[in-house]
Structure 1
Amino acid sequence: MNLLQAIVLWCISTFALAQLKVEPCNTQKCQNYFVHFKKNAQRGHADSIATLAEFYYHGFGTSKNLLLAMKYHKKAARLGVVRSQYKAALLFLTNERFKDHKRGMNYLRKAAYNDHINAPYLLGIIYYSDEFGEKNKTEADKWLAQAYKENHDDIPEFIEHIYSFEDITQASFPSLYAAMEKNPMIKTQQNRFAWPPEDGTEVITVLSPDIDSLLKKQMLDSRKKIKQLGSRMAGIDCRTSVACRALTLDEMKDSMNITGGNVVTNDGGSQ
């Protein structure tokens, strides 16, 4: 397994619902959560649609179904949910059933422009590598520099990878070079690149909430009355509502697949 493949697998394995991994679950409590979020998704609540996609992806409260997971991630991505933009990108780029490199890159760029923490890093790797046929050093420099400025945890390792092939100079990587000059890394005793310690700053460990707390918070958020701009769908303004703007052909298909009735599942049944 090469470095790029390992990093992409890492991106998939660490993708989580608000930094908390959703795992397969078939208890009554999980099934109740599934029913609740499915109802909210049918009402058009964008975040609930994204969570429903994760439930289908992992088999949380329902049978695992990648087709439905992808459909709901695309729907949520169109409504502006950044985590679904990122997850749809990963599915398009890595899953053989959905393999569509062009659409995957479009979703990944959208997630990066919307400040997803991992998207610029992954874009930089893809543009630097030969793996996807997208090798473009200018784009690699742009996105790796953004990931560097955001102090991405894994940038030091990839910087070492670059140095194993070539030097990072003002001529070869102008944006990344400038970022490294402004905020230089250190070398460890093992001669590895690392982010410098935050001297004099107290380090506070923040624990992620448990799955119940996280989902209950989403349930409460979905009930809040949200100001709308011409749309009658809760949580969606007129800029993202189907009724208020023209759709692309792909968006129209996605919308019909989700709101137009039953969807065929993996085993030929329907949901």
Structure 2
Amino acid sequence: MTDSGRTWREAEQALEAGIDFDRANAARIYDYLLGGACNFAVDREQAAKILTQNPDMAYVCRANRDYLRRAVDWCLAQGITQFLDLGSGVPTAGNVHEIALAHRPDARVAYVDFEPVAVAHAHEVIDGIEGVSVTRADMRDPEAVLAAPGVADLLDLDRPVALLTVAVLHFVPDAALPGILARYRAALGPGSVHVMSHGSADHDDPELAARTRAIQDGYRGSATEVVLRSRAAIRELLGDGELVAPGLVDIVDWPTPSPGERPTGGYAAIARFS
């Protein structure tokens, strides 16, 4: 037995799959905060730390999930039926394919994530569903992602695609991120859009900024620490795309203001880029 109670063979299998039992991971923490079951003790412990820093964190996760639903609905209303979901995480209620296929049975959804538990569970969830795939790949390598069979064989990149980077980019510290995203956008057909949400401490309200920084502190020591970018830096991640109204706003205020909802500290936007 290992110190954690697993057999040596179980530990070897986890290592082969790339599963890190010793450090919490954003996808599994998010799953736990949304009430899911695909997480480990280390993730729940990290989530407890985050909630201690900011008790609003579960609310922020739910608000982000609600934004994803509204954004997918908006894309479908524009006639966009193909979705490339980078950093899709552990599937839970309100998955992109559930939303899309309910309205358009011909929709196509390609999920991409690097976390092995998220990918394994996604395979179980989408098993037998036509028009949906999951690929284990690093989103920082656009060429590999776009060439993967689950993407290249499913999506018609000559037609409009919604590039989804929802609640994932603040876990990518790479300074080359604007260029990475530009390579994805360049590969997608006319009429495509970039759907984004991203955490930030760049707010006029000092209390809101402090709450968001507290979330960042809560992720320290995990395998996926948080990088909070300014409004200007977040806008830069969308390239020269034209922002859809109402522009770059708090997650709860897209696409219409929600004065009864407390702000999350995360920004949301959709940009037309081709």
Tell me the TM-score normalized by structure 2.
Answer: 0.29
Greater share of helix residues, 1 or 2? 1
Greater share of strand residues, 1 or 2? 2
Tell me the TM-score normalized by structure 1.
Answer: 0.30
Higher-RCO chain (CA-CA 8 Å, sequence separation at least 6): 2
